[in-house]
Amino acid sequence: MNSLSRRRFLKISGATIGVAAAGSAVLKGTQLLNRKKPSAGVETIPTFCDICFWKCGAIAYVNDGKLWKVEGNPDDPLSNGRLCPRGTGGVGAHYDPDRLKAPLIRKSVRGKEEWVEVTWDEAFTYIAEKMQKIKANYGPEAVALFSHGIGGNFFKHTLKAFGTPNIAAPSFAQCRGPRDVGFRLTFGEDVSSPERTDIKNAKCLVLIGSHLGENMHNTQVQEFAEAIENGASIIVVDPRFSVAASKAKHYLPIKPGTDLALLLAWMNVIVNEKLYDFEYVQKYGFGFEQFAASIQQYTPEWAYPETGIEPELIRETAREMARFKPATLVHPGRHVTWYGDDAQRSRAVAMLNALLGSWGRKGGFYTPVSMDVPSYPYPDYPKSAKGKVDNPDHKYPFAHETITTGIREATITGKPYPVKGWFVYATNLLHALPNEEETIKAIQNLDLLVVIDVIPSEIAGWADVVLPESVYLERHDDLNVEWFREPFVALRQPVVDSPHDQKPNWWMAKKLAEKLDLGHYYPWNDIEEYFEHRLKAAGLSYSELKKKGTIRGAKQPIYFDEGVPAEFPTPSGKIEFYSLQLQQAGFDPVPKYNRPAAGPPGYLRLLYGRAPVHSFSRTQSNRVLMDMMNENEVWINTNIAARFGLKSGDYVRLKNKDGVVSNRIKVKATERIRPDCAYMVHGFGHNAKGLTFAYGKGASDAQLLTRYITDPLMGGTASNMNFATMESEVA
């Protein structure tokens, strides 16, 4: 079994579909979709989940041809045989009565959600004509793709073949981007996803705003429980007493926006008390002396009024981390676009880990490995003369992925060049990007907006063409060749038929390519041919993969101590405690703390997060999951609730500083949050007409995020910058 070397990982990390030469082929209608004959009794089919984007291996049970339940695949290293509640509730996606059912073309003004049902051929003809017109007038770069998840791979391929480099996912600028930039600047590598965090072997686990357990990325939560069972010392920093906080030895109820002050004070203690991993820092570190000198001002006494965390507690927790080094994992988080200092704050997290010697070490960060499954040999993509539109003149010098909000900005301004077409795959941009007014403004400048999704989301409501996708239990997707603790490859395959005229994304992307005279980019007839080709090149058997769902490779070394070379692809080749590249770009070479702006009196800082039973704004029409949680609540401290004359169960509307008023939302008056914050779960408050069940249930944080700060290093949009007050609502 082949495995990729670490060097090759560094080289290709981030690449998607490869290129080479081949011929063209013709599709043969629905026979490609491998319609299944219902069989009697219980049949089990392995696949992998898509209710979030973690891609857990699953086994679907079909009873007399009807989907019954989905369980974890015991052979799969991401699920270890156990799915999270969303995966277990995945059946609800198939049975969702609000699903998109047929291709739609808009028949009145944008956003009115009035449609004509069309055939697939009519839809592709319409889209292809508009695309060719845009290409003729503005060039192919004027078409952009927003995409989330592995299902977007084939649309990416078609649009790259069309000639656009403008392909982005909110997972960068609205989520994990600052973290990956902060870690790149320090270690030369991303944290990537699934995160390379060795939670299960950590003896001390530090979570800063990371609400594991509510954030239900399966493998991480499984490992979190393992760490608890092993008696790991857990330190949780959060303005809210999260589920994770309830497992902690030390809970630090930090003043929101001041995490960097705490991180600097922790490093101050660890450096000045000489608690760091001296040998590791000496061997691998660059610029330690300058770094040590520049954090002298950040004492625990200095940090106290900033963070609200007592100096002794800062010292005690710093010593606790040092006691268990290098098996102390300061978790880098995932959704970290908070306060505008996010890349620098993430860099401070990276540096703290470096002091503890945890990068590359057991109980810290492992080095991920992968199966060597070569890309399909496609023809070369055309080269774009104009380059990407999202980040003109490298305004955000450390953005290593495309910035969604940069494309949105260019669509509004027409600069550096006009963007006239958007494809949106499986991401509800109106909930995913801050300031929906800007998103709508951008949409008004478009000649074409195509939305590919399974449900009639808010963004679908603004589309010119809506393409209904089969849910993951009804389709194939690209192979999941994951970078993880151990190498493996996983297959998503249809378990049941789509109930209406929904189609898999690969079929749509291929059909569209043919309409655009780009059929030669799809030299295969059927996706199974594509799988066969790639797996054969990897020396693997497709029939075995179909049967097992996941094929695992041999375990590889994943720690420095096991022989993984300690390499740091930074400019100095070392762990950069002091960053010359930041200095040269005009930024602080060592992070500096800036106090966040406070809100006006009577307003609470609006924080948001996840619930274990929902994924973003994509699961509120799943009846099984809605039976678990069918509206969100606004958490406010009991004292604040009393001051407003509110109690749990009362309904309010939230009003932000710009006067935007939310849907009504239920109050949760609780001791589990600071009095200066309000917290809500993201994803609710739908107002798309087609989401008949989710419509009007709970409130949308996204609607209230009118203000954001753009991270100067990488263009991330920090959204914990909004303040809201409450207006009583008669239930």
Partner 1 sequence: MARLGMVIDTKKCVGCMDCVVACKTENNVPEGYNKDWIVQETKGAFPTLTTEIRSERCNHCDNPPCVSCCPTGASHVHELGKVVLVTKNECIGCKACVASCPYDARFIHPDGYADKCTFCIHRVEKGLDPACVSVCPTHCMYFGDLDDPNSQVSRLLASRKNHSLMPEVGTQPRIFYLR
As a whole number of angstroms, the distance between CA 490 and CA 488 comes to 7
Q: In this chain, which of 59, 83, 329, 709 binds partner 1, going by CB under 8 A? A: 83
Element (H, E) at 601: none
Q: In this chain, which of 127, 433, 467, 673 binds partner 1, going by CB under 8 A? A: 673
Write the CB contacts of 335 (distance below 8 Å, at least 6 apart in sequence): 174, 175, 176, 215, 609
As a whole number of angstroms, the distance between CA 598 and CA 576 comes to 32
- Our CB check for partner 1 shows the closer of 104 and 694 to be 694
Torsion of CA 691, 696, 697, 700, to 10 degrees: 100
Q: Measured from the CB of residue 628, what is the shortest distance to partner 1 in angstroms?
A: 5
Task: Show contacts with partner 1 in window 153-212 (CB under 8 A).
Answer: 212
Q: What are phi and psi of 45, to 5 degrees?
A: -130, 125
Q: Measured from the CB of residue 131, what is the shortest distance to partner 1 in angstroms?
A: 41
Q: In this chain, which of 179, 335, 347, 674 binds partner 1, going by CB under 8 A? A: 674
- When asked if residue 310 is in the footprint of partner 1 (CB under 8 A), the reply is no
Q: Which two tokens stand for residue 153?
A: 């791979």
As a whole number of angstroms, the distance between CA 172 and CA 335 comes to 9
Q: Measured from the CB of residue 248, what is the shortest distance to partner 1 in angstroms?
A: 10
As a whole number of angstroms, the distance between CA 181 and CA 446 comes to 31
- When asked if residue 495 is in the footprint of partner 1 (CB under 8 A), the reply is no
Q: Measured from the CB of residue 324, what is the shortest distance to partner 1 in angstroms?
A: 19
- Our CB check for partner 1 shows the closer of 693 and 695 to be 693
Q: In this chain, which of 13, 19, 65, 82 binds partner 1, going by CB under 8 A? A: 82
- When asked if residue 316 is in the footprint of partner 1 (CB under 8 A), the reply is no
- Our CB check for partner 1 shows the closer of 78 and 123 to be 78
3-state SS assignment for residue 40:
coil
Nearest to 86 by CA among 57, 59, 52, 114: 52
Within 297-356, strands assigned E span: 328-330
- Our CB check for partner 1 shows the closer of 504 and 609 to be 609
3-state SS assignment for residue 397:
coil
- Our CB check for partner 1 shows the closer of 561 and 627 to be 627
- When asked if residue 233 is in the footprint of partner 1 (CB under 8 A), the reply is no
What's at 151, amino acid-wise? G
As a whole number of angstroms, the distance between CA 224 and CA 197 comes to 11
Q: Measured from the CB of residue 333, what is the shortest distance to partner 1 in angstroms?
A: 17
What binding mask, one character per residue, do residues 652-671 give for partner 1 by CB under 8 A, x or -?
Answer: ------------------xx
Task: Show contacts with partner 1 in window 250-309 (CB under 8 A).
Answer: 251, 253
As a whole number of angstroms, the distance between CA 370 and CA 487 comes to 4
Q: Tell me the number of residues near partner 1 by CB under 8 A.
A: 46
- When asked if residue 679 is in the footprint of partner 1 (CB under 8 A), the reply is no
Instruction: Determine the interface stretch with partner 1 among 132-140, 331-339, 514-522, 621-629 (rule: CB under 8 A).
Output: 621-629
- When asked if residue 235 is in the footprint of partner 1 (CB under 8 A), the reply is no
- When asked if residue 358 is in the footprint of partner 1 (CB under 8 A), the reply is no
CA distances 534 to 148, 348, 480, 558, Å, are 23, 41, 12, 26
Q: Measured from the CB of residue 176, what is the shortest distance to partner 1 in angstroms?
A: 21
Q: In this chain, which of 32, 52, 84, 265 binds partner 1, going by CB under 8 A? A: 84
- When asked if residue 632 is in the footprint of partner 1 (CB under 8 A), the reply is no
- When asked if residue 224 is in the footprint of partner 1 (CB under 8 A), the reply is yes
What binding mask, one character per residue, do residues 87-126 give for partner 1 by CB under 8 A, x or -?
Answer: -xx-x-----------------------------------
Instruction: Determine the interface stretch with partner 1 among 196-204, 218-226, 514-522, 577-585 (rule: CB under 8 A).
Output: 218-226
Q: Measured from the CB of residue 313, what is the shortest distance to partner 1 in angstroms?
A: 11
- When asked if residue 400 is in the footprint of partner 1 (CB under 8 A), the reply is no
Cis ω before 596 (30° cut-off from 0)? no
- When asked if residue 374 is in the footprint of partner 1 (CB under 8 A), the reply is no
If one counts every other C-beta atom within 10 angstroms of the C-beta of residue 528, the result is 15
- Our CB check for partner 1 shows the closer of 594 and 638 to be 638
Q: Give the largest Cα separation in the chain, rounded.
A: 73
Q: Measured from the CB of residue 447, what is the shortest distance to partner 1 in angstroms?
A: 43
- Our CB check for partner 1 shows the closer of 81 and 379 to be 81
Burial class (CB in 10 A: 0-12, 13-18, 19+), 25: middle
Q: Which two tokens stand for residue 394?
A: 């490298």
If one counts every other C-beta atom within 10 angstroms of the C-beta of residue 21, the result is 10
Instruction: Determine the interface stretch with partner 1 among 186-194, 287-295, 496-504, 626-634 (rule: CB under 8 A).
Output: 626-634
What's at 522, amino acid-wise? Y
- When asked if residue 71 is in the footprint of partner 1 (CB under 8 A), the reply is yes
| DSSP-assigned states of every residue in 465-521 | EEEEBPPGGG-----EEE-BSS-EEE----SS--SSS-B-HHHHHHHHHHHTT-GGG
Task: Show contacts with partner 1 in window 31-70 (CB under 8 A).
Answer: 68-70
Q: In this chain, which of 19, 225, 566, 660 binds partner 1, going by CB under 8 A? A: 225
- Our CB check for partner 1 shows the closer of 216 and 459 to be 216
Q: Measured from the CB of residue 611, what is the shortest distance to partner 1 in angstroms?
A: 9
* Region for residue 467 given its phi and psi (left: phi exceeds 0; alpha: psi -120 to 50; beta: otherwise): beta
- Our CB check for partner 1 shows the closer of 43 and 729 to be 43
- Our CB check for partner 1 shows the closer of 84 and 451 to be 84
Nearest to 231 by CA among 249, 212, 250, 258: 249
Burial class (CB in 10 A: 0-12, 13-18, 19+), 299: middle
As a whole number of angstroms, the distance between CA 99 and CA 471 comes to 9
Applying CB under 8 A, the residues found at the interface with partner 1 are 68-72, 82-85, 88-89, 91, 212-214, 216, 218, 221-222, 224-225, 228-229, 241, 243-247, 251, 253, 612-613, 623-625, 627-629, 637, 670-675
